[in-house]
Amino acid sequence: MKTIDLRSDTITLPTDEMIEAIVNAHKAGRLGDDVIGEDEVVNELQEKAAKILGKEAALLVTSGTQGNLVSLLAQTRRGDEVVVEEQSHTFMFEGGAMASLGGLFPKPVHGERGYILPETLESAISPDNPHYARTSLVVCENTHNYAGGTITRPEQVDALAAVAHDHGLKIHCDGARLFNAAVALDVPAKRLVDNADSVQICLSKGLSAPVGSVIAGTEEFIHEAHRTRKKVGGGMRQAGIIAAPGIIALEKMVDRLKEDHENAKLLYERVKGIPNLVIDEPETNILFLGLQNLSISQMKLSEELAKENIKVYGGYGVRTRMVMNRMVSRDDVDRVAVALERLLK
Ligand X SMILES: Cc1ncc(COP(=O)(O)O)c(C=O)c1O
**Interacting residue ranges for ligand X, rule: CB under 6 A:** 63-65, 68, 89, 141, 145, 174, 176, 202, 204, 213
Q: Which of 160, 215, 206, 159 is nearest to 183 (CA)?
A: 206
∠ CA 18-173-322, rounded to 5°: 60
Q: Which is nearer to ligand X, 100 or 309 (CB)?
A: 100
Percent helix, percent strand, percent coil in the chain, to nearest 5: 45, 15, 40
The torsion angles phi and psi of 332, rounded to 5 degrees, stand at -65, -40
Least distance CB 249 / ligand X (angstroms): 13
Q: Which is nearer to ligand X, 62 or 263 (CB)?
A: 62
Least distance CB 147 / ligand X (angstroms): 10
Q: Which residues pair with 175 in a beta bridge?
A: 201
Least distance CB 179 / ligand X (angstroms): 13
- Report the alpha-carbon distance of residue 268 to residue 40 in Å, rounded: 44
- Report the alpha-carbon distance of residue 202 to residue 141 in Å, rounded: 12
Least distance CB 174 / ligand X (angstroms): 5
Q: Which is nearer to ligand X, 120 or 204 (CB)?
A: 204
Per-residue b/e over 251-263, b at no fewer than 16 CB within 10 Å? eebbeebebbbeb
- Report the alpha-carbon distance of residue 163 to residue 122 in Å, rounded: 7
State the amino acid at position 269 in one-letter form. Answer: E
Q: Which is nearer to ligand X, 168 or 315 (CB)?
A: 315
Least distance CB 63 / ligand X (angstroms): 4
Among all residues, whose Cβ is closest to ligand X? 64
Least distance CB 342 / ligand X (angstroms): 30
- Report the alpha-carbon distance of residue 256 to residue 12 in Å, rounded: 13
- Cis peptide preceding 15, ω within 30 of 0: no
Q: How do beta strands 213-217 and 57-61 pair?
A: antiparallel
Least distance CB 308 / ligand X (angstroms): 25
Q: Which is nearer to ligand X, 120 or 213 (CB)?
A: 213
Q: Which is nearer to ligand X, 136 or 204 (CB)?
A: 204
Q: Which is nearer to ligand X, 286 or 310 (CB)?
A: 286
CA 343 to chain CA centroid, Å, is 31
